Structure 1
Amino acid sequence: MLKRQEDIIAAYDLKIKEVTSDISQTKKLIDQLSFVRIGLFLAEILLFVLMVSSADDGLRTLIQIGLILPVIAFAFVVRKQSKLDREVDYKKQLLWTHQNEWKVLNGTANGYDHGTAFESELHPYTSDLDIFGNASLFALINRCSTKSGNHILAKNLAEKSTRDKMLLRQEAVKEMIEKIEETYSFRASLHGYDPEKIEQIKMQLKHQLGAQLEFVAGKFLRFYVKLVPYLSVALILAGLFISGIFWQILVMFCIIHGGWNVLLGTRINKVFYSFGGSSNLLNGYASAILWTENQSWKSEYTLSLLDSEIPASKEIKSLSKIIQNFDARLNIIVGAILNVLLLWDLKCCVNLDTWYKSSSKDVVSALDHLGDFEELISLATIAYNQPDWVFPVITDQFALTTTQVGHPLIKEQLRVNNDFNLAVKPTVDIVTGSNMAGKSTFLRTLGINMVLAYAGAPVCAKSMQLSVFSINTYMRIKDSLNESTSTFKAELNRLKMILDNVVKDKDTFVLIDEMLRGTNSRDKYLGSKVFVEELINEKTPALFATHDLQLADLIADHPETVRNFHFDIQITNGEMKFDYLLKQGPCKTFNAAILLKEIGLTLD
C-alpha cells in the first residue's frame, strides 16, 4: 500500500525521537563510566598507600598484585568509553539524516550540497531548467556526502544517456526504495567527514603511495623491523636478570634507532601526512562499504558496482588499523619511546606497503563506487518521499505523453498540473499567452521532468511516456559585461548552439521562451519565423512560448507541423485570475493593458 506523505513525515518524526533518546541514554552511560574511571584511579592511589604503609611483607606482595587490577579495569573502561563516544558520533549523524528529511518535506532547504559548482550558462539546458544551484533540482535530490557522489549525480542530470542504461537505473532505484530504511545508516556512516580528505587518500593510493614506500622495500630493513621488538624485549629482560651491561647495549641500540628515524624522517612524514588522523574517516567509509557488501542485490546495474575480488570493507578496516597505529607518533613522548625501542614508524610503513601491494586496487574501486550508491540512494529517497510521483515509461518510439505533470520545485499545494503529448510526428508547438499566465513554467515543467526521467528517477506526474531526446533550451539569455556581449549577441550565440545541436543530433527536443528579445519587434517576428521553419525542416520537435500572436498564424502555412496552445486569464471586474492550465489554440486574452493601467498608463 502506497504511503501518504503525511505518514512519511510522521515516520521521520518518530525516528528523530528514537535516535535522540538513544543518544541521551548513551551519553548517560558515558558519564557513568567517567565516574568509574575516577573510582578506579582513587582505588589505585589507596592500594599504593596501603602498600607503602604495610609492614607485612605477605600483605605488601598481595597489594602489589592487586595494583594491576585497577589498571586493567581502567584500560577496559577507557576502551569501552571510546567505543561509546564513536557510537554517539555515528548516532548524531544518523539523527541529522532523519532531521534533514523531515525539514526538506516541511519546506526547509536540503542540508546537502546544492551543486552550485556545476552551474553553467553554456550548457544546453541546466541553467534554464534550474538543474543546479540554490532552489534547484540538484538541491532537492542530492543526498551525497562524497565528492564522487556529487559528481556522478551531476553527470546523470546533465548528460544524455541511452535507453538501456536508463531502464537499468530505474530498476536499481526501485530496488533501493525497498531498502530505504537501511540506507540511513549508510548515509550516516559517510556524513560529517571532510570529502576532500577521502579524495586525497584515493589520489594517494592511486598515484603516489607506491613510490613513497619504496624506501622500505629492502629485505634487510623489513627483516630487521620484524626482529627489533624481540631484540628490545630480550635486552630489557637481560638487563633486569643478568647484567647491567645489557642496559648499555639497549641505550646504544636506541641511539642508532633514533638516528635511523631522523635520517628517514622526511620520507616517513610524507607518507604519514597523507593519511594521519584519518582512521575514524576510514572506519566510517568501511562501514558504508560493508553495508553495500551485505545487501542481497538483484538489479544488474547495482551488481556491476560490486567489482572487488575481496571484501573491501575488511581491507579498509586493516588500513584504518595501520593508520591508527601510525597516529601514535602524534604523542611526542609515546612516539619517541616506540620508535627507539620498536622502530614504530618504520614498522607502520612496512605494514602499509604490504597492505598497499595486496589491497589498494580493490579499495580504490570500492571507494569510487560509494558515490554510485549515494547517487542511487538520492534518487530512491526522492521517490520514497514523493509517493505520488511515478516512474516514466522510456520507449524507443518517438513519444512524449504525460498526464498531470507538475513542476517538482513548486510546493504541492501551489502546483498546477497539466496534460500534454507530442503529435505522432515532430511538430513545433506555439504556446501563446499573457504575462504571468504560466508559459515559462510549463516549458520548465516538461524539461525538468524529462531530466528526472533520463536520470532513472520518478517524475512529478500521474503518468509519462517518452523517448530519449537531447534537450536544448533558450530561456534566460543574459548579456555579459566581462565578455562585452550584448543580449542580442548572446541570443544569437544560443540560437547557433541549438541549430548546431539539431543538425548533429536528430533526436533533439527544443524549448524556447520568447526568442530575440534584444531586437525590434519586426526583426523579432521574422527571426522567430525563420527559426521555427528551420526546426520544421529538420523535423525537430519544439515548444515555442511567445507573446507574438503572428507566430500562431504559421499554422496556416504548416498545418501538419505547427500546433497552437495557450495559457489565458479570466478578467472579472478588472481583476485578473490565472488558472495556469494549458489549452488548445492561440490565446485571445492578454493582460498588458491592465498591468499598465495599474501603474497609471492607459492604452487607447
Structure 2
Amino acid sequence: MLGLGLVSLNSVNSTPDSLDSTPNSAVTAYRARQQELSLEQQNIQTKRMRLRALIWAALLLIAALYDQAAHHGAHSWPILLPVALIAGIIPYYLGIQNKLLRITRLQAFYDRGVARADGSEPQSGLTGEEFRTAGHLYDRDLNILGPDSLFGLLATVRTGIGLRGLAVYLLQPVPQTGSAARQAAVRELAPRFELRERIALLGSSRFQEVKATVFDAWLDEAPPSFPGWVRPVLVVTAMLMVGMLLASAIHTAWWPLLAPNVVAVAAVQAGVSMTVRKRVLAVLGASKVADQMQLFSDGLELLQAQAFTAPKLVELQRQAREPDAVAAIRGIQNQFVIVEQRTKEYFFVFSLLLAAGTQAAISIAEWKRQYAPAMRQWLAAWGEFEALNALATYAFEHEADIYPELLPADAAPAFEAESLGHPLLPVNACVRNDVALGDATRFYLISGSNMAGKSTLLRAVGVNAVLAYAGAPVRAARLRLTPLTLAASLALTDSLAEGKSKFLAEVERLQLTLDASQRGATLFLIDEIFSGTNSTDRRVAAAAILERLLANHAIGALSTHDLALTELATPEARGLNLHMASPDADDPLGFDYRLKPGINQSSNALAIIRMMGM
C-alpha cells in the first residue's frame, strides 16, 4: 500500500552521510563532463598565459624601439609591427576570456547538477510562492510551492518565464490527453543534458534574469496611437537637417545661406516632437524589457533549431516560430538600442538631429500593436518548453523513478501503485507501500497513532499524482492512474487575518472538493476530517461528505484518530480500513511507516507524554 518515508517533510534535506553512496548515471555523466571542462580550462589557461607573455614581449619591444627612435636616431616605423601584433592578439585574447567565463558558468551548472543527483542538495532554493493563489485545492497541503517543496525540487529553469511555466504545470488542471503528450516530451528531453547546458549558457551571465512579470506589464500597457503624418514629417525634417549640415560642411561658404533654413527645419521638427511628447515618454518609460529581449530571443532561436519528434515539442516549436519570432524581436531590439543610446554623449547630437527617440517610440508602439498577441504566444511556448526541460532534468537525475501509465479518461477512476514513496524524501530513507484505489476499493480509511506517518502518506499520493499529470516520472515501481481532479485537505490552519477558524477553513475546502467531484472524476485526500468538533458530529458530517463524494464517483483516502469513523469503511461503500502504528506493542514509538490491514488498536499519546517527562 501507499509509501512514505518519514513522519514529516521537515527532514527532506538530509545530510550526505544518509544518502545512497552508489552514484546514478546522471552523477557519472555530470562528473565526466566536469572532468572534460577541467581539462579544457587548463588548456585554455595555458594558451592565455602564452598570449600574455607574447603581449608583454611586444610591449617591451615597443619600448625598446621607441627608445632607439627617440635617443639613437633609428626609424620609428618598426614600432608598428609589435603594435599590429598586439592589435591582432587582443580579439583572440578576449575570445579566450569568454571561453573561460563560459567554462566557469558550466562548472557551477554541473556542481549544482551533481548536488541534486546525489541527493546532497536536492532543493534549488526557489519557492515559487509568487505563483500562489488563494483557495487552491492542494498547493499548501501537498507542499507544491514554498520552502522544501516540489517546485523547489524541480525548479532548474533558466528564466522567470520558465518558473511560471513550471508553476502552471504543477498547479493547473491538464487536458485529458495533455499528460501523455507531456510525458512523451519529457522522455525525449531527458537524455539531452547537452541541450540543458546550452540553455544554462543563455545570457551574458548566469545572473541575468528574464522575469515574466516585466513582459506581462509591458504587454498589458496599450501602445499609444500616433497621427499618421508624424513619421513622414520627421523623416523629411531629418533628411533635410542632415543634408543641409553636410552641404555646409563641404562648402562652408553656404552656411550663412543654409543656417536660417536649418533653424526653421529644427523648429518644425521640435514642434512635431513636442506634440507627441507625452505619448513618446509613455513608450520610452517602459523600456525595461530591452535588457531581457536578447536572452529571450536567443532562447527562442535555440528552441527553433532543435530536431524533435514528440508532438508536444514540435507544437511548441511552431508556436515559438509563427510569425517569425526571432526576426521580429531583433527588429524591436534595434529600436531599444536607439532608445538606450540616444542620451549618450557621443550620440546625443545625432539623436536630436534625427528625432531618434520619437521615431523609435513610434516604431516600438507599432511593433507592439502588431506583435503583442504573438509575443504572448512566444512567452507561453518558451515557459512550457523550460518546464518540460525541468521535468526532464528530474527524470534524468532520478533514473530509479518510473513513468506512470496514464489510463484513458473514459476508464473507471483509478490510482493503483506498487512501492510508492514520497519524492521529497531521500531515496534510501523512503519507506514504500502499495495502494489500490479504484472500482473495487473506492476509499481508504486510515486510522493510526500520532507521528505514525498518515499525513505524509496522503501527501505521497497527491505529490505523485501531480508529477504524473505534469508528465514526469514518479517515485514508484509501478503506477496506473486515470485523469483525476486532485483535492486535498491536509494543512489547514486558523487564520486571524481572515477571521477564519481551522474548522471553517476545512468546511470550505470540503465544499470545494465536493464541487470538483461534481464536475469530474476526483481524487480526494483528507487528513483528520472534522477534527475540530466532537466525535458524534464528526461521524455524521464525515458520513455525509463521504456519501456525496462516492455518489460522484470520487476515490481517495481519509485519515483519523477517531476510531468511531472506521465504521464508515463498509464493504457496501467499497471502503477499506487500514492503519499505521508501531509493529511492536512494547515500543509504541517504533514506527515502520507501513500501512497495515484493519483498524488501529494501539495508542502512543501517553508514551509521548511520558517521553516529555510529564
Aligned to 1:264, which of 269, 273, 276?
273
Equivalent position of 1:527 in the other structure: 541
Shift of 1:512: 1.2
Correspondence 1:537-576 to 2 at 5 A: 537-555=551-569, 558-559=571-572, 561-571=574-584, 574=587, 576=589
Change (3 A) 1:380 1:574: closer
Pick from 280, 298, 301 the counterpart of residue 290 of structure 1: 301
Match of 1:430 among 437, 445, 449: 445
- Give the aligned partner of residue 10 of structure 2: none
The corresponding residue for 2:456 is: 441
Answer with 408-417 or 158-167: which moved more.
158-167
Which residue is 2:312 aligned to?
301
Aligned to 1:193: 208
CA pair 264-71 structure 1, distance change in 2 beyond 3 A: farther
Deviations 1:399-424 (A, max 9, x none): 21111111000111211111111243
- SS of alignment partner, residue 419 of structure 1: strand
How far, CA to CA, are the matches of 2:225 and 2:81 in structure 1?
A: 43
Q: Is the 8 A contact 2:225 2:365 kept in 1?
A: no
* CA distance 1:366–1:393, change in 2 (3 Å): same
Gaps of 5+ in 1: none
Q: Is the 8 A contact 1:125 1:471 kept in 2?
A: yes
SS of match in other structure, 2:293: helix
Contact 1:115 1:150 in 2 (8 A): yes
Q: 1:92 to 1:365 in 2, by over 3 A?
A: farther
CA RMSD of aligned residues (A): 4.4
**What is the distance in 1 between the residues matched to 2:404 and 2:460?**
15
Q: 2:602 is matched with which residue: 576, 585, 589?
A: 589
The 3 A distance-change label for structure 1 pair 569 and 184 is same
Q: Deviations over 1:34-84 (max 9, x none)?
A: 99999999999999999999x99xx99x99xx999969986x877777766
Trace 1:138-153 onto structure 2 (pairs within 5 A): 138-153=151-166
How far did 1:385 drift?
Answer: 0.9
Structure 2 counterpart SS, 1:161: coil
- The alignment's TM-score, normalised by the length of structure 2, stands at 0.80
Shift in CA distance, 425/96, structure 1 to aligned 2, threshold 3 Å: same
1:499 paired residue number: 514
Residues 476 and 348 (structure 1), Cα distance of their counterparts in 2 relative to 1, 3 Å cut: closer
Amino acid at match of 1:577: G
**Pair 1:443–1:354, CA change in 2 (3 A):** closer
- Counterpart secondary structure, 1:511: strand
Report if the CA contact (8 A) 2:401-2:476 is conserved. Answer: yes
Q: Distance in 2 between matches of 1:289 and 1:320?
A: 14
Report the Cα distance in structure 1 between the residues aligned to 2:61 and 2:216, rounded to whole angstroms: 48
Comparing 283-292 with 35-44, which one deviates more in the overlay?
35-44
For 1:255 and 1:50, locate their aligned partners in 2 and report how far apart those are by CA, in whole Å.
Answer: 58
Give the equivalent residue in structure 2 for 1:312. 325
**Paired-residue identity, %:** 22
Q: Give secondary structure in 1 for the equivalent of 2:202.
A: helix
Establish whether residue 176 from structure 1 lines up as the match of residue 195 from structure 2.
no
Higher alpha-carbon deviation: 578-587 or 254-263: 254-263
1:385-534 mapped onto 2 (5 Å cutoff): 385-396=397-408, 397-398=411-412, 399-425=414-440, 427-502=442-517, 504-534=518-548
Map residues 214-229 of structure 1 onto 2, 5 A cutoff. 217-225=230-238
Residue 256 of structure 1, CA deviation? 5.7
2:392 matched to which residue of 1? 380
Q: Which moved more, 1:413-422 or 1:343-352?
A: 343-352
Q: Please give the TM-score of this superposition, normalised by the length of structure 1.
A: 0.81
Counting only pairs closer than 5 Å after superposition, residues 99-248 of structure 1 correspond to structure 2 as 99-105=111-117, 106-108=119-121, 110-111=123-124, 113-120=126-133, 122-189=135-202, 191-196=206-211, 199-201=213-215, 204=218, 207-209=221-223, 211=224, 217-225=230-238, 232-236=245-249, 238-239=250-251, 243-246=252-255
Conservation of the 8 A alpha-carbon contact between 2:238 and 2:353: no
Classify 1:488/1:589 alpha carbon distance in 2 versus 1 (closer, same or farther; 3 Å): same
Q: C-alpha distance in 2, partners of 1:322/1:463?
A: 54
Relative contact order higher in (CA < 8 Å, ≥ 6 apart): 2
Q: Are the aligned partners of 1:216 and 1:349 in contact in 2 as well (CA < 8 Å)?
A: no
Corresponding residue SS for 1:219: helix
Shift of 1:384: 0.8
1:426 and 1:540 in contact (8 A); partners too: no
**Runs of 5+ in structure 2 lacking a partner?**
1-21
Distance 1:310 1:486, change over 3 A: closer
Instruction: Give the length in aligned residue pairs.
Output: 582
1:585: Cα distance to partner? Answer: 2.0
Letter in 2 for 1:518: G
How far apart are 1:370 and its partner, in Å?
1.4
- For 1:32 and 1:21, the matched residues in 2 are separated by 17
The one-letter code of the counterpart of 2:308 is W
Q: Could you tell me which residue of structure 2 aligns to residue 7 of structure 1?
A: 25
Contact 1:144/1:371, CA 8 A, preserved across alignment: no
Name the residue aligned to 2:12.
none
Following the alignment from structure 2 to structure 1, what is the Cα–Cα distance between the partners of residues 331 and 55?
30
SS of 1:481's equivalent in the other structure is coil
1:500 counterpart SS class: helix
Deviation at 1:449, TM superposition (A): 0.4
